[in-house]
A and B are shown apart, each in its own frame.
Chain A
Amino acid sequence: MILPRPIRTTSFPQRTESDVTSVSLAAQQLSVTYTLAGNRPLPALGPTTFAIPAGQFVCLVGPSGCGKSTLVRALAGLEQPTSGTALVADRPVVEPPAQVGIMFQDANLMPWRTVLDNMALPLELTGVARDEREQAVFDLLPQLGLSEFAHAYPGDLSGGMAQRVALGRVLVRRPGALLLDEPFGALDALTREQIGLDLLAFWRQEGQTILMVTHDIHEAVLLADRVLVMSRRPGRLLADIPVTLDRPRAISDTYHEAFGQIAAEVRTAIERA
């Protein structure tokens, strides 16, 4: 079959000096089984095996309740594997690794802290001086579109803005890997598209490794180098689909045929789940 437009090969974006050391993420026969009331076991995840090289942007899709969040939480050190290993920078995860930042579906902000203090929290906990951590936050605010909201409380923010603060909070520590658990799931379509592109811009600057859970195929193909598809609970890896689209990407890319083909491939894989 002859394609009207050749599929372009993926080229990693040119990165301007970034002091972030990206780290690899991996799972080896990783499985998690929860214990319900009455000692009944609930297998939530896997055994799952995959490897994400440092600096890659990977999206994870799959039916709801298939263990995507569990997988992310295991990599973040928030969940103990029942068997197998979660690996960050080739080392088994036993407690939350310092090089990893996690972002949840809810903005999860502290309502008693201003935007500035919420974003500065990770630095505050590691003992960075006030001037220095506030400077780090003020450096991030314009790119997040939050310049005017430094002193606002979360109660005064829209859902999209709150999620931007949460993104700023995870970026301020400049982690080598980001684990994003459906971070834009609760936002409206236009807002999530914009915040997704903003995330891409940050990724181009910093080059961290990103593993992002999403239920939006469109979003996954637009953002990722690779899309992992998981089966129904207990989740296993079903498909590993490379996204061979040029970077930098823009919304207009979504109208190209190549985009549609990859999205269709992902959809087919999910339907087999």
Chain B
Amino acid sequence: MKGRRDYVRLSGRLFVPLLLPAILLIVWQIVVSLGVYPEFIIPSPLAVFEKFVEVLGNGRLLTNTWATLSQTLVGLVIGVLGGVVLGYAIAKNRLLDDVLSPLVITLQSTPVVAYAPLLVIWFGSGPTSKIVTSALIVFFPMLMNTVVGLNSVPASLRDLMRSLRATPWQMFTHLEVPAAMPLLLGGLKVSATLAVIGSVVGEFVSARAGLGWLINDARYNFDTPLVLVAVFMLAVIARTLYALVGLLERRMLAWRR
């Protein structure tokens, strides 16, 4: 009985999230069938699927997906490391906090889209400018979460570690890192999706490859199905990265369940 109920619940958990997309797909097909909009504005799901198979076959899809994905991952790693390191320095050093925080908050409030063209001017239209855009967009939330995470370490646990004569390094590895971990992973989760945005914004400004570039290119050629295929691929990348961090979170924060 129990096994059967588990089975029903598991299939329910897999099925329910698919329900809404399935309904949307049906509505989409109905709208297209009614013929209200021309095909180049709303192509049919089938046309999009055929385009998907076509660009998958001739390698265009994977080449551009890889371009975006690699820039995103490199940018993510650089931005996360930079944010955590500077966040740690700010949390530990009052002077650095006073000097850097106003600047950091101002930069964070400025939309990336606004200064992305500058980054392309400075770093060229190759992958570098996209990596920098990704890294920058990831950097700020990571820095903030690191500062908040480190400030949330309970004073009583610091006292405990001091009474146990912990070295500064042990204070870091045995207390600060694990105590800040929920916030660090929360920041990483947000960052994973932001990094994709950073790459695409860079590609929109100027690029020679990538899904953002593919979207722009397809748009100029009125190839709406290809635009949709590229958007779909971006959604898959962002959702996968988000799920991977979620998995990491479940492993590392097992104690919270």
A and B interact:
yes
When A122-B164, A125-B164 are in contact, do A153 and B159 touch as well, CB less than 8 Å? Answer: no
B181 A112 Cβ-Cβ under 8 A: yes
Least Cβ–Cβ distance between A172 and chain B, in angstroms:
11
Q: A104-B159, A155-B255 are in contact. Are A110 and B178 (CB under 8 A)?
A: yes
0/1 string, A93-112, CB within 8 A of B gives 1: 00110101110101010111
Q: How far, in whole Å, are A234 and B162 apart by their CA atoms in the complex? A: 26
CB-CB under 8 A from B170, the residues of chain A are 125
CB distance from B253 to the nearest CB of A (A): 8
Q: Which one of B157, B165, B166 lies within 8 Å of A110 (CB-CB)?
A: B157
> Are the C-beta atoms of B157 and A108 separated by less than 8 Å?
yes
Of A73, A98, A153, the contact of B165 (CB 8 Å cutoff): A98
Q: Is A196 among interface residues, defined by CB-CB distance under 8 A?
A: no
The yes or no answer to B163 lying at the interface (CB within 8 A) is: yes
Nearest Cβ on chain B to A262's Cβ, whole angstroms:
32
Inter-subunit contact B165/A96 (CB<8 Å): yes
Question: What's the Cα separation between A153 and B254 when bound, in Å?
Answer: 10
- Known A-B contacts A77-B163, A78-B162; the reply to A106 vs B156 at CB < 8 A is yes
Residues of A close to B181: CB separation below 8 A: 112
In the complex, the answer to whether B165 meets A104 with C-beta atoms within 8 Å is no
Q: How far is the CA of A77 from the CA of B165 in the complex (A)?
A: 10
> In the bound complex, how far is the Cα of B131 from the Cα of A72, in angstroms?
54
- By the criterion CB–CB under 8 Å, are B163 and A76 in contact? yes
B160 adjacent to chain A (CB < 8 Å): yes
Give per-residue flags for A66-101: 1 if the beta carbon is below 8 A from chain B beta carbons, else 0: 000000010011100000000000000001101011
Q: Are B255 and A96 in contact (CB under 8 A)?
A: no
- Is B239 interfacial (CB-CB < 8 Å)? no
**Cα–Cα distance between A162 and B7 once the two chains are bound (Å):** 37
B137-196 at interface with A (beta carbon < 8 Å)? 154, 156-157, 159-166, 170, 174-175, 178-179, 181
Cα separation A110 to B157 with both chains bound (whole Å): 8
B257 to chain A, nearest CB (A): 9
Residues of A within 8 A of B164 (CB): 96, 121-122, 125, 173
The tally of CB-CB contacts under 8 A between chains A and B is 55
Q: Within the complex, what minimum Cβ distance (angstroms) separates A18 from chain B? A: 22
The answer to whether residues A78 and B159 also contact, given A112-B181, A153-B255 and a CB cut-off of 8 A, is yes
In the complex, the answer to whether B255 meets A125 with C-beta atoms within 8 Å is no
Are A102 and B157 in contact (CB-based, < 8 A)? no
Contacts A111-B255, A155-B255 given; indicate if A125 touches B166 (C-beta within 8 A).
yes
Return chain A residues, CB-CB under 8 Å to B253: 112
For the complex formed, measure the closest distance between the CB of B125 and the CB atoms of chain A, giving whole angstroms: 45
CB closest residue in chain A, given B160:
A108
Task: Point out which of B160, B174, B181 has the most chain A C-beta atoms below 10 A from its C-beta.
Answer: B160
In whole angstroms, what is the CA distance A108 to B160 when docked? 8
Chain A positions 109 through 143: 1 when the CB is less than 8 Å from some CB of chain B, otherwise 0? 01111100000011011100000000000000000
Known A-B contacts A125-B170, A125-B174; A96 and B162 likewise in contact (beta carbons under 8 Å) = yes
A106 to B157, CA, bound (A): 10
Tell me, in angstroms, the Cα distance from A111 to B257 when the chains sit together.
Answer: 11
* Nearest chain B CB to A58 CB, angstrom units: 19
Complex interface: chain A residues within 8 A of B175 (CB): 110
Q: Which residue of B lies closest to A79 (CB)?
A: B159
Q: Are B178 and A112 in contact (CB under 8 A)?
A: yes
Contacting B at CB under 8 A, from A149-204, are 153, 155, 173
Which residues of A lie under 8 Å from residue B156 when comparing CB positions?
A: 104, 106, 108
A153 to B154, CA, bound (A): 18
CA distance A30 to B240 in the complex (A): 61
Q: Please indicate the chain B residues that have their CB under 8 angstroms from the CB of A98 in the complex.
A: 165
Q: Which residues of B contact A76 (CB under 8 A)?
A: 163
A122 to chain B: closest residue by CB = B164
Mask of B70-82 contacts with A, CB within 8 angstroms, 1/0: 0000000000000
Q: How far apart are the CA atoms of A108 and B164 in the complex, in Å?
A: 13
A95 vs B160: C-alpha distance when bound (angstroms) = 13
> Can you give 6 A-B contacts (C-beta < 8 A)?
A73-B159, A78-B159, A78-B163, A101-B163, A104-B159, A121-B174
Known: A111-B256, A153-B255. 16 other contacts (CB 8 A): A78-B162, A96-B163, A96-B164, A102-B163, A104-B159, A108-B157, A108-B159, A110-B179, A111-B255, A112-B179, A121-B164, A124-B174, A125-B161, A125-B164, A125-B165, A155-B255
Task: Using CB atoms and an 8 Å cutoff, list the residues of chain A in contact with chain B.
Answer: 73, 76-78, 95-96, 98, 100-102, 104, 106, 108, 110-114, 121-122, 124-126, 153, 155, 173
Query: Nearest 6 A-B pairs (CB), nearest first?
Result: A153-B255, A102-B163, A112-B255, A112-B178, A96-B163, A108-B156
